[in-house]
Structure 1
Amino acid sequence: MYRVSFLTVWLLLVASPSSLLAAGGLEFTPFTGHRFGGSFELDNHNNRLDIDNTTDWGFTISRAASDSTRYEFLYSHQDSSLADTTDPDNAFGLDIHYVHLGGTVDVYSLDYYQEKITPYITGGLGMTFMNPSQRGYDDETRFSLSVGGGLKWYPTERLGIRFEMRGYSTLIDSNESLFCDPGCNLQIEGDAFPQFETNLGLIFSF
């Protein structure tokens, strides 16, 4: 399901590149970094399941909305695993995908920084897709939001570097089963689980 949603958004953004380029201010930024955090409290055990801290990768596509704001599409992916805190050997692979629509806002624009370094804040709304490798467990799709901030540095007109820190919060129903039908051994508590990532990307401006 996440592949269909991702492909739909991608096609909406890039199906008409000529119109985007005509509007100006288009940026494509592939990135990689490190994602950490994320756990699920179990209601039928006195322990939790932790998501391993691993490398993430993805990209953003953004378009200028004004001199200081941009519309933005974000895709971020993590290959990780979910492990029982009381039994580290009881783990299985878990891929986590974030697909968000949002934007960025420049914090300020002094003459010196305007051309060289741009601090910004960012945010987005979208979906989290979780894909466990364990046989018998199902994929999960949940609503999520993100906020963050960073710096953009443009050494040339068409090429830049983007450093960013972003936090995610994925909403889940309290006391529900996750990845399987009610009655399975993954009955969880809580209303959300957070994750954080730091990324470094290369900006291509058009």
Structure 2
Amino acid sequence: MKKLLLAFLLISTFGLAAKAQSVEITPITGYTFPAGFNVGGGRAQLEDGQNWGGNLGFSPNSFVEVELSYSYMATRAWTSRIPGAANVDTRTQIHYAMIGANRLFPVSEKATFFTGGKLGTGTLAFPNGDYRSQTRFSVGFQGGVKYYASERIGIRLQANLMFPIISSGASLWWSPGGGTAVGVTGWSPIVQFGFTGGLIFRLQQ
């Protein structure tokens, strides 16, 4: 599955680059707020923290951008008061690899507003090795502004919403109590909201 996803992303990247009028490379960093939710009669939470990553954008015209993105966050995950399960408090890494599109709204030669959505994978990894890494289909939305100081350099500021999808009958990403799964029903209770900013490097075709 991961090899197929990687192959798809590589093929998509070369195809988009060949047709793009401009290409943007944007390293980013920012802040993600805590994501807490009720589950199994108790409480679970992913703590807040700084995120890191990058975007690779391809614009076939002035109003549309196709984008590949990756983000990483180091945080902690915990649960409490879940009947029949021990509490969890463990180091956690969150990875998102996404592909999506933005609608661009140029307001001047220097400023462009944008909004868009993306699809991909979200992975919860545990560096201490106390739980298995889990990967889920994920959906994201973003909106913000780009400001170009020159034809080649700009600044990007945006807000993000990320939704790892947990299907009906699945367990929570981590299973408290040494194998006691926490059931959920049909949708993702995990909603991660944050802000990011980055320096845009624009390559003209």
TM-score, normalised with respect to structure 1: 0.81
Q: CA separation in 2, counterparts of 1:122 and 1:160?
A: 19
Shift of 1:132: 2.0
Question: For 1:199, what is the secondary structure of its paired residue?
Answer: strand
Question: For 2:89, what is the secondary structure of its paired residue?
Answer: strand
Shift of 1:181: 10
State the percentage of identical aligned residues: 27
How many residues in Structure 1 have an aligned counterpart in Structure 2? Answer: 196
Question: For 1:189, what is the secondary structure of its paired residue?
Answer: coil
Which amino acid in 2 is paired with 1:28?
A: I
1:199 aligns with 2:196: yes
Q: CA separation in 2, counterparts of 1:188 and 1:134?
A: 24
Mapping of residues 117-136 of structure 1, within 5 Å: 117-136=111-130
1:145 to 135, 139, 143: 139
Q: CA separation in 2, counterparts of 1:194 and 1:155?
A: 34
1:163 aligns with 2:157: yes
Contact 1:150 1:163 in 2 (8 A): yes
Q: CA separation in 1, counterparts of 2:183 and 2:36?
A: 10
Paired position in structure 1 for 2:34? 37
Q: CA separation in 2, counterparts of 1:30 and 1:162?
A: 10
Q: CA separation in 2, counterparts of 1:175 and 1:158?
A: 49
Q: CA separation in 1, counterparts of 2:92 and 2:71?
A: 14
TM-score, normalised with respect to structure 2: 0.82
Question: For 1:148, what is the secondary structure of its paired residue?
Answer: strand
Shift of 1:58: 0.5
Paired position in structure 2 for 1:91? 89
Q: Which runs of 4+ in 1 moved over 6 A?
A: none
Q: CA separation in 1, counterparts of 2:30 and 2:4?
A: 24
2:108 to 96, 104, 114: 114
Q: Summarize deviations over 1:21-67 as a string: whole Å, max 9, x none.
A: 78430000000000123235331xx3212101000010000111222
Contact 2:47 2:75 in 1 (8 A): yes
Shift of 1:136: 4.3
Which amino acid in 2 is paired with 1:118?
A: T
Which amino acid in 1 is paired with 2:148?
A: Y
Which amino acid in 1 is paired with 2:95?
A: H
Q: CA separation in 1, counterparts of 2:8 and 2:75?
A: 24
Contact 1:37 1:194 in 2 (8 A): no
Q: CA separation in 1, counterparts of 2:53 and 2:68?
A: 11
Shift of 1:116: 1.6
Structure 1 unaligned spans of 5+: none
